[in-house]
Amino acid sequence: MIKKNFAFVFPGQGAQYVGMAKEFYELPEYKHFFKEANERIGYDLTDIMFEGPEDELKKTHNTQPAILLHSVVAYNYFKDHVDIVPAFTAGHSLGEFTALVTANSLDWLDALYLVHKRGDFMIEASRGVPFKMAAILGLDADIIIDFCENSTGVVVAANFNTPVQTVISGENKAVAEVMDKCTEAGARRVVELVVGGAFHSPLIHKSAEWLNEEMKKCNFSDAIIPVIPNYTAKPEKLKNEIIDNLTQQIISPVQWVRSVEYMCENGIDTFIEFGPGRVVSGMIKAINKDTNRYTINTLDDAEKVITAFKNI
């Protein structure tokens, strides 16, 4: 049943934690997801997810497939119990791949493989280039963009997470320069992020080329549900445009504020987040506090949401 006021959303990097998805693994009918994931990428990802250590889970090439796997299993558990098709689906950064899985545009194992490779590519493309990323809180995005455009090096606004939270990415010195300017301009907080590369910036342009080559090895289809890409923040269903959006996304800003605003302006008032943590739901609340937000991270979360939605 298609529900015009619902959207499914999926988290990106940073939502991971040791022990993630273990409750779903312990359900016999969902074990196959974890076994197939390990086979697809060629090592025991699930052991890293369940046991850590945290430093190993935080490595980008592990983090990205771990989050996608958790999200896919949580989504499938919900889908097996509730017959609701959303009006839109969207994901934050790597979460866009999960959104494409739910829209039947990409097989989940191909998506897992691609985000694993994507993580490798993003790190490899950053080697030899001093980089930095930082989160700016409590300052208007237009001010931050202006600081970036007038800096002495390469630095860009990389993630528009909420109206008052923007992440910048680029060359070490240029990012530090913009951080100082943001502090002087009255930002509430300026926080350097621990990352493995200058994500969503021109500095990792090679990763976009490499990812595009890998995507040619996978079968994409037109989406059956409109997907809101991070790159354009406008609905897309055509496979060629989907591939282009994913290629551009890796080196372009994550337009999450615009994505959520578009969905809200087009009738969405309820979001269900699938996967580890509650980061995406928190961002949506900051963008539009009048929305209804549900999260399915744990099995207990799933049961509560399923109970709430069975009569809808």
Dihedral over Cα of 223, 229, 234, 240: its sign: negative
Angle at which helices 60-79 and 108-124 cross, to 10° = 160
Catalytic residue among 61, 92, 93, 151: 93
Is the distance from CB of 275 to CB of 89 less than 8 angstroms? no
Q: What is the 3-state secondary structure (H, E, C) of 23-67?
A: HHHCCHHHHHHHHHHHHHHCCCHHHHHHHCCHHHHCCHHHHHHHH
Burial 285-297, CB ≥16 within 10 A → b, else e: bebbeebebbbbb
- 200: annotated active-site residue: yes
Residue 306 DSSP class: H
Total residue count of the chain as it appears in this document: 312
Q: List, edge to edge, every strand of the sheet that includes 165-171.
A: 155-162, 165-171, 131-137, 189-192
- 32: annotated active-site residue: no
Report, in this order, helix, strand and coil percent for the chain, each rounded to 5.
Answer: 50, 20, 35
- Give the separation between CA 270 and CA 259, rounded to whole angstroms: 14
Dihedral over Cα of 56, 57, 58, 60: its sign: positive
- Give the separation between CA 308 and CA 276, rounded to whole angstroms: 20
3-state secondary structure of 85: strand
Catalytic residue among 61, 169, 200, 281: 200
| Residues labelled as active-site residues | 93, 200
